Structure 1
């Protein structure tokens, strides 16, 4: 299951994602795969230690009606995700046509530009407020603590539709992260 269709996907980068949004394979059941809340991937109880394998699986991840699936043109298997399936592990400031912007890099080599292809927000998970960025197909990525602390050093006063307070401006778009009281 999911073997021949995955061949070659390990070479795929974000810009060359397979067209999973065009695939409508039949549901084939559940796979014993879990993406933990800390971003680690497990298969049949064992941690997947090969980053290339995690990246390969992430390229065929699909989110539908609150559930996660690995899909190929011929198969669709459900997996479990405790929180967010992706983890932002790096960031840097870059210049874009829309101005200075934050570039995020995930553990699966996805590259996202805040204000261009993703947004950032805070949300509760198990009574802890955590930062997330939007990802493809309605999925999200947890922003790793060290990345968020790095961004926190760049906070400035912003005003958004949600109110005013401290946040970041990226690609000309303001993000409120700490609301004034």
Structure 2
């Protein structure tokens, strides 16, 4: 049974995240309410930098605010809709504020993939932890990247707006099972007519 102190701490964390959500959502509500897309047009906002916000996205796409886990999926999805990448840095941006946040490797995390037919072509559909879905292809390419401190290259895929997602291990194993192996032991995956090298044996 949770102690009174535990309950108070959970309340403080929840209240802190709700305040942050309301602060940002009030600034974008009028903008997205008039748009067909559910994603705000963050690429059009020239908001000056306010500073650094103590939010981190770890390598599995888990969000933390001041080291406290942000547990509510709808809140994480809302924050991710405000993400913008400028160079190698990531920001939460609204028409009124722009805050730099930290991202360990990539801001998105791929939790599932399906092999399907699209326009008479084989296609891989991926879904992120925040619920965004897309087809791997020319607009959303897949690649391997060597990351300092990691023993093996990390599979990445472009999710949107120059922001990648890490392909989870179970999804990567699915990709391997759908791929073909060439005589030189290169493992290649096809999606929407594009071929991606995803490993070697």
* TM-score (norm. length: structure 1): 0.86
1:176 equivalent to 2:200? Answer: no
1:138 equivalent to 2:162? Answer: yes
The residue that corresponds to 1:82 in the other structure is 104
CA distance in 1, matches of 2:30, 2:80: 13
Q: Which contiguous aligned blocks of 4+ residues in structure 1 show a shift greater than 6 angstroms?
A: none
Conserved? CA contact 2:110–2:129, under 8 Å? yes
The residue that corresponds to 2:93 in the other structure is 71
CA distance in 1, matches of 2:53, 2:166: 23
Q: Considering fraction of residues, name the structure with more strand.
A: 1
How far residue 16 of structure 1 moved from its aligned partner, in angstroms, is 2.7
How far residue 98 of structure 1 moved from its aligned partner, in angstroms, is 5.8
Q: In terms of Rg, which structure is larger?
A: 2
CA distance in 1, matches of 2:58, 2:190: 31
Corresponding pairs, count = 174
Conserved? CA contact 1:91–1:104, under 8 Å? yes
Aligned with 2:50: secondary structure?
strand
Q: Considering fraction of residues, name the structure with more helix.
A: 2
The residue that corresponds to 1:24 in the other structure is 46
Q: Which runs of 5+ in 2 are unaligned?
A: 1-22
CA distance in 1, matches of 2:138, 2:121: 11
Map 1:1-181 onto structure 2 (within 5 A). Answer: 1-5=23-27, 16-97=38-119, 99-125=121-147, 126-128=149-151, 129-157=153-181, 165-179=186-200
Conserved? CA contact 2:28–2:95, under 8 Å? no
